[in-house]
Each structure stands twice: as C-alpha cells, then as structure tokens.
Amino acid sequence: MREPLRALCDSHGIKGTLLLAREGINGTIAGEPMALRTVLAQLRADPRLADLEHKESNAIEMPFYRLKVKLKREIVTMGVPDMDPVRMAGTYVPPQDWNALIDDPEVVVVDVRNDYEVGIGSFDSAIDPHTAHFSDFPEWVRVQSEQGGVLHGKPRVAMFCTGGIRCEKSTSYLRSQGFDEVYHLQGGILKYLETVPEGQSRWHGECFVFDERVAVRHGLEAGEHTSCRACRMPLSIEDRASTLYIEGVSCPHCHAQHSEDKRQRLAERQRQVSLAQQRQCRHIGVRQQAQTPCPDSPHAGNDI
C-alpha cells in the first residue's frame, strides 16, 4: 500500500505521517479539505478500511513539514507478541458516556500515554503510570496488579489515550491478564474534546499531539504549548518564562543534558532559523509555507 498511498498524497499536496502495519493504519495528515476527502475516500475503498474512523480539526498553518508513509511491525509498539486488538479490545465507551463511567468510584481510570503527554493535561482522578515508552506498560500492569497496587482487586478499569489506538492494545493486554471489565474511550481524548462541551468536561489542561500544533484544547483548537527545538518536550508559558529557557537551545527539561559543543551547534541552528525568518524564506524545521528557500541555503530548491 505504501507507494500508491504516498503518490496519492503527494499529488494532492498532503503532508503528515501515516503508519502502515499488519494490524491496520494510523496517522495524521493535513491539506486542503477536498484533498483530504479524496484521500479518505480512497482509503475506505479498501474493504479492510471501510469503517475507518477519522477526526477533523483546523490549523491556520500547515502543521507538518513533509509527508512520511512508514511501514511498522506495530502501529504503537507494546512488544507483546500475538496480541489481537480486534478480538480482545475492551468495551468502547462513546465520549458522551465517558463522564458517567469515570465518575464511578469503583472504576480505576488509567491514562496510558507517556509521562510527558500526561504532564500537560489529563482527566480528573486519572492514574499516571509514569511510563517513558508504551512498551513499559506491561511491566506497570504486572507491578500494580500485585498486593497493594492500584489494579489489585479492581475488576473495572477504564483507559484512554490520544486517539484511541494505544487503548486497543492496552485494553487487550489487560483482558489477557484476567481483567473482566475493561473499557476505553472511543476515539480517544481528541474525540472527547471535539464532542463534549467544555462546560461538561472532566478534562483539565491540553492534549499533546504529534505535529507542530504541539497541543490542542476543547474544540480541537490549538493550545498554548510550544515545543523545545532541542529536546522536543512540550513547553508551557511558565516553561518559556524560565531563565533556563533559551529558544532553540535549551529548556527547563533539558538544560543540564547538553554539552557545550552541542549548545553551540543548537545556538547556530537557531541563528540560521532567525536569519531565515528575517529574510522571509524557509528554513528546515520552521513553518514558512508561503515562502521560498533562502538563496544561500543548502536546502534551496528542495521541498522541505
């Protein structure tokens, strides 16, 4: 599927990232509305993807630099062989029914995203597993299922993630470990923020997304977080006000991790970015969609 899909997206000016695996397809793409509808229609023409679910939000600028179509062993890597999310996934809970479920004190609510994502927003009373990678999740379940753990003796578990994909596997894994009542938020946080009015919401903060918007809030409007160009961590307004924040060079999360040599290289890159902005031309890693490459740029003439 990869090359025809890449050609289709290229011919319609689509950018973003698409992941293809035996278990399905996932990704985020951006472009003009008619172009996006054409690509979605082509995908759904494949009988295996006929019921493909998608979510829509608007962006003022193109939130991607290029198109990537990747082949992967797993859409999201858990590292547990022979998982069958289609057959074993937990019970889907529509966004409009989610509040009632997580308000039940007998339900353990687990955020299955990674720690840096949870750090900028989550649901009321949700448990943060403090995982750095999704592949850490099975070990967290093992530990927390033991005496004294948050999952011990708790048959009802509700899980959520950004778009619902990680929950396909996390709920399947819990069911394989003997948990009887396992639920997950259908369409993930994004569908909840798109569907549930802010006045009725149990969500606090912003939701991290894997593109140049960095984070979104209710209505899927772009949030206030930006991204550190040195370590890619999401940065709040308070982070950017820190004395440890130097644009393009360091932030409160990574300031102690860089050698002096790397700091100089990062500073030089930021200087080139600033020069490109002053000249109103493109620099790789900066959204300058309506502009042309700098004449003296090593990337001049390339679509970057």
Bridge partners, 19 (sequence order)? 26, 70
Of the three residues 47, 71, 95, the one that is the final residue of a domain is 71
Count CB-CB contacts under 10 A for residue 51.
Answer: 7
In a domain, 122, yes or no: yes
pTM of the complete model: 0.81
Q: What is the CATH number of the domain that holds 37?
A: 3.30.70.100
Same domain for 57 and 34: yes
Arithmetic mean of pLDDT, 107-119:
95
Same domain for 165 and 62: no
Measured CA to CA, the distance from residue 292 to residue 249 in angstroms comes to 25
Characterize the bridge pairing of strands 108-111 and 156-160.
Answer: parallel
Of the three residues 172, 188, 205, the one that is the final residue of a domain is 205
Q: Tell me, what's the pLDDT at 112? A: 96
| 43 contacts 25 by C-beta, under 8 angstroms | yes
Same domain for 126 and 42: no
161 is a catalytic site residue: yes
Measured CA to CA, the distance from residue 185 to residue 158 in angstroms comes to 8
For the stretch 154-205, pLDDT in tens is: 889 999 999 988 999 999 999 999 998 999 999 999 999 999 999 999 999 9
Range of 195's domain?
A: 85-205
Same domain for 94 and 173: yes
Looking at per-residue pLDDT, the higher value among 197 and 277 belongs to 197
Q: Which residues of 124-138 are buried (b: 16+ CB within 10 A; e: fewer)?
A: eebbebebeebebbb
In a domain, 299, yes or no: no
In a domain, 152, yes or no: yes
For the stretch 3-17, pLDDT in tens is: 999 999 999 999 999
Same domain for 102 and 161: yes
- Nearest one of 251, 249, 253, 272 to 261, comparing CA atoms: 249
For residue 87, give both structure tokens.
Answer: 């057959």
| 109 contacts 115 by C-beta, under 8 angstroms | no
Measured CA to CA, the distance from residue 232 to residue 285 in angstroms comes to 12
In a domain, 163, yes or no: yes
Same domain for 145 and 35: no
Q: Tell me, what's the pLDDT at 243? A: 96
Measured CA to CA, the distance from residue 112 to residue 130 in angstroms comes to 9
Bridge partners, 11 (sequence order)? none
Domain count, the chain: 3
Arithmetic mean of pLDDT, 216-231:
93
Same domain for 115 and 23: no
For residue 185, give both structure tokens.
Answer: 């938020």
Of the three residues 185, 205, 225, the one that is the final residue of a domain is 205
Same domain for 198 and 99: yes
Mean pLDDT over each residue of the chain, to the nearest integer: 89
Same domain for 162 and 96: yes
In a domain, 223, yes or no: no
Q: Tell me, what's the pLDDT at 284? A: 54
State the pLDDT confidence band at 286, using cuts at 50, 70 and 90: very low
Same domain for 8 and 56: yes
Catalytic residue among 9, 161, 228, 281: 161
In a domain, 172, yes or no: yes
